[in-house]
């Protein structure tokens, strides 16, 4: 198979022969012949855009859905989880930098991975008893064509589709996923543009717009904020994120995750547990019904509590799920509705 698969969502640049604009993500890269975008995996090939990652999977695993993290979407189920190399962000603390930043770190080398047809991926998910396919580990937007083809087949076979995403795709991209993207966990790193640019090289506004649009399209959304000491761990930073999420819908789960030193930020200390607990209290004060800690196993904020009576309705430790005290989508203690999809 050619390494250059026809891409979607691009257009020629008027008055500049051979130049194209990629409309897949909010960077909207302008590319001359032979150039690749900021993701390093979409190339202008003789005046037409192509993707270099179609079906070239660097990772394929069966994970608990809780690992995404998605706590209110088919809890305790399995998710076939895949990725290719590449990313359209430059997160200086990336935990998966060895695959997300692979094309940047190894310029000119063939992209690694093993080819798998979309139908074969869906068949593998069925054989493993997976309720979902998660496009994750790196940014799914950069292997969008493959994700779209697989998602359409999966939806026809009753398997739900999940993006674990930085939220930087365009409206046009999300429109193409209509009816086949069912849930997303979106990273909302900060509400501060300066901090966002320092961490990722991107802007905040497109991420906020995407979260809003996903909600409008009835995609189940959960939001994750990685709390980095000295960058976004102040009451003001955390409060602004919590208020934005609560203002959209207080039933959106907010995951505040522990930072671990890695990649270009190996000299920054891990987030203290007390900081995450403070973040959870800030989320609750903003009116959020479901606030969770991440990367902090054994914490009280791992389990789901009924927002009405306060009883635990889903017990968790890490990615393991214990008792689920929900019946017909309601708390078995008080009968209050628990937000989510695929709940017992």
pLDDT (tens digit per residue) in 88-97 = 999 999 999 9
Percent of the chain at pLDDT exceeding 70: 99
Q: Residue 316 belongs to what H/E stretch?
A: strand 312-317
Q: Is residue 21 part of a domain?
A: yes
In 239-300, where do the E strands start and end?
254-258, 291-294
Helix axes 144-156, 118-127, angle to 10 degrees: 50
339/333 Cα distance (integer angstroms):
15
Kindly report the average pLDDT of the chain as a whole number: 96
Distance of alpha carbon 2 from alpha carbon 92, whole angstroms: 32
Q: 83 in a domain, yes or no? A: no
> What angle do helix axes 273-285 and 235-248 make, rounded to 10 degrees?
40
Residue 27 lies in a domain: yes
The arithmetic mean of pLDDT across residues 70-80, rounded, is 98
Question: What pLDDT, on a 0 to 100 scale, did the predictor assign at position 199?
Answer: 87
Instruction: Read off the pLDDT of residues 36-56 as tens digits, 9 standing for 90 and up.
Output: 999 999 999 999 999 999 999
Say whether pLDDT at 2 is over 70.
no
> For residue 40, is it within any domain?
yes
| The pLDDT of residue 1 | 39
Is 327 contained in some domain? Answer: no
| Contact in structure between 22 and 48 (CB atoms under 8 Å) | no
**What's the whole-model pTM score?**
0.97
Mean pLDDT of 249-275: 96
Cα angle: 115, vertex 181, 114; to 5 degrees: 10
312-317 vs 320-324, strand pairing mode:
antiparallel
Q: For residues 223 and 245, give the distance between their C-alpha atoms in angstroms, rounded to a whole number.
A: 8
Domain range enclosing 45: 5-51
Q: What is the pLDDT of residue 306?
A: 98
- Our count of domains for the chain comes to 1
> What is the rounded distance in angstroms from the CA atom of residue 139 to the CA atom of residue 167?
9
Residue 32: strand, helix, or coil: coil
Q: Which residues contact 310 (CB under 8 A, 6 or more apart)?
A: none
**Per the domain annotation, does 16 fall within a domain?**
yes
Cβ count near 271 (within 10 Å): 22
Query: In angstroms, rounded to a whole number, what is the distance separating the alpha carbons of residues 213 and 207?
Result: 10
Whether residue 318 has pLDDT greater than 80: yes
What pairing do the DSSP bridges indicate for beta strands 132-135 and 183-187?
A: unpaired
How far apart are alpha carbons 343 and 329 in whole angstroms?
6
Q: What is the pLDDT of residue 38?
A: 96
Percent of the chain with pLDDT over 90: 97
């Amino acid at each position: 198979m050619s390494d250059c698969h026809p891409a979607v969502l691009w257009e020629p640049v008027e008055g500049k022969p051979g130049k194209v604009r990629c409309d897949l993500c909010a960077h909207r890269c302008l590319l001359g012949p032979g150039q690749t975008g900021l993701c390093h995996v979409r190339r202008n090939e003789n005046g037409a855009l192509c993707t270099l990652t179609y079906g070239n999977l660097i990772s394929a695993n069966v994970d608990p859905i809780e690992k995404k993290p998605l706590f209110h979407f088919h809890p305790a189920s399995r998710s076939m989880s895949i990725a290719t190399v590449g990313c359209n962000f430059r997160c200086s603390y990336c935990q998966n930098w060895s695959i997300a930043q692979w094309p940047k770190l190894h310029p000119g080398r063939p992209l690694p991975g093993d080819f798998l047809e979309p139908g074969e991926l869906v068949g593998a998910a069925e054989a493993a008893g997976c309720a979902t396919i998660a496009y994750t580990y790196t940014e799914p937007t950069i292997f969008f064509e493959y994700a779209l083809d697989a998602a359409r087949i999966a939806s026809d076979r009753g398997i739900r589709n999940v993006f674990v995403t930085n939220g930087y795709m365009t409206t046009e991209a999300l429109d193409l996923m209509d009816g086949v993207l069912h849930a997303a966990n979106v990273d909302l790193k900060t509400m501060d543009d300066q901090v966002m640019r320092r961490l990722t090289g991107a802007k905040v506004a497109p991420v906020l717009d995407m979260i809003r649009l996903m909600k409008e399209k009835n995609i189940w959304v959960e939001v994750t904020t990685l709390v980095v000491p000295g960058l976004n761990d102040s009451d003001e930073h955390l409060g602004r994120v919590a208020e934005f999420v609560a203002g959209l819908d207080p039933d959106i789960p907010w995951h505040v995750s522990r930072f671990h030193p890695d990649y270009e930020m190996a000299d920054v200390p891990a987030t203290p547990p007390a900081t995450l607990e403070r973040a959870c209290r800030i989320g609750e004060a903003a009116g959020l019904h479901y606030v969770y800690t991440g990367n902090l196993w054994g914490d009280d904020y791992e389990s789901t509590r009924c927002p009405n009576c306060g009883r635990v309705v889903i017990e968790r430790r890490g990615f393991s799920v214990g008792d689920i005290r929900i019946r017909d989508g309601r708390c078995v203690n008080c009968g209050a509705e628990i937000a989510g999809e695929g709940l017992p």
